Amino acid sequence: MSAEKDLHTLLATMHPELREGEFVYVLWPHGRPLAGAVAAAVREAEGLTVVLPRAEADSLGLPYDFVGAWITLQVHSSLEAIGLTAAVSAALTEAKISCNVLAGFHHDHILVPVADADRALEVLHELVATSGEQKPAPELVLRSEQPADRPAILALTAAAFAVSPVTGLPVEGEPEEVELLRALFDCDEYLPDFSIVAVQGGEVIGHVISTRGKAGELGLLGLGPIGVVPRLQRHGIGSALMKETIARANAAGERGIALLGDPEYYSRFGFVASTSLGVQAPDPAWGVHFQLLPLAVWPGGVSGRFRYARPFGSARPAARRDTMDRAPQ
């Protein structure tokens, strides 16, 4: 049976099941062979954490603090599924029940305080019932931007950049990224197939643009701005826009994509420091934050400083940094 990824289906068909007994977390003594009925184990730099029945820990003389009831979420969830444990944790948090999550190959599991086990089951059964009554979210559609989309794109960009990712403070007036986008739509380096919107239920909820840039004489894509409406950030929409951009770029025979952003976030898509590929950042101060994704036809032996589309040159330095640094997810 294939693992389920759709959150609505996962929640509506989930069956929470209480495992018999009480379970504890213990730090396993260094160098001691594993013994007893170990239910789960996690190796960390500080040592090996195991979860096992409380009676086993007592018989082995292992100390513990938390005593939990083990609830298995009986639904075959994919390890790539998004939102199941978050929804479960949120429901339990609202009920003021703490939980610890364990992911198995076939199921997710949670450990809650023993005293809260019955109440936790009630909360989870209510979550299942409520999810069964709800309609699934509309399909996410990724398509090329159309002129009629531009007011919505500018509005979501203004909302996405209303707080500076650099200073953490509200931006006064209209964010510079909005003016930059207007200029990018009208510049010579604009590429219609690389201005992509995410649409759900007829609403434009995300946008990414890549325009023509160059490293020496080699044509590359310069990605940014990328934005998602604030209420839907960290729901995978930014990742979907990134993957769509990369797929289109490979299909079009593009050589590579450059951007300025968080290395920890963008490395998941294959981006590396541009200098490792011979390409210098427009501003040396950007360092490892200026990154490059070599695509299928990356030629190698490239050298030179990257040049963004012309409108980037007129944006103030802080705006250029703000435009790229956001990791929308």
Q: Answer left, alpha or beta for residue 41, where phi above 0 means left and psi between -120 and 50 means alpha.
A: beta
What are residue 253's phi and psi, to 5 degrees? 75, 20
CATH 3.30.2130.10 positions along the chain are 7-133
Per residue in 242-266, pLDDT tens? 999 999 999 999 999 999 999 999 9
Identify whether the C-beta of residue 286 lies closer than 8 Å to the C-beta of residue 222: no
Q: How far is CA 130 from CA 74, 127, 179, 293, in A?
A: 17, 5, 43, 43
Which pLDDT score is estimated for 329? 57
- Structure-block tokens of residue 58: 């007592």
CA distance 176 to 323: 8
What are residue 284's phi and psi, to 5 degrees? -55, -25
Torsion of CA 41, 42, 47, 50, to 10 degrees: -30
| CATH class label, 140-325 | alpha beta
3-state per-residue secondary structure call for 29-84: CCCCCCCCCCCEEEEECCEEEEEEEHHHHHHHCCCCCCEEEEEEEECCECCCCCCH
Which of helix, strand or coil describes residue 259? strand
Of 62, 65, 66, 54, residue with least CA distance to 20: 54
Let me know if 135 is exposed, middle or buried by CB neighbors in 10 A (0-12, 13-18, 19+). Answer: exposed
Query: Is the model's pTM score more than 0.85?
Result: no
Number of helices and strands in the chain (H, E) = 10, 16
Which pLDDT score is estimated for 210? 98
What are residue 3's phi and psi, to 5 degrees? -75, 145
Blockwise average pLDDT, block size 10, the chain, 329 residues: 67 88 94 86 92 93 94 77 85 92 88 94 89 70 97 96 80 93 97 97 96 96 95 89 97 97 94 97 96 95 94 62 49
Q: Answer left, alpha or beta for residue 273, where phi above 0 means left and psi between -120 and 50 means alpha.
A: beta
Which pLDDT score is estimated for 2? 53
CATH 3.40.630.30 positions along the chain are 140-325
Quick one: fold of 7-133? Answer: VC0802-like (3.30.2130)
Per residue in 178-223, pLDDT tens? 999 999 999 999 999 999 999 998 999 999 999 999 999 999 999 9
Which pLDDT score is estimated for 33? 86
Per residue in 293-315, pLDDT tens? 999 999 988 999 999 999 998 65
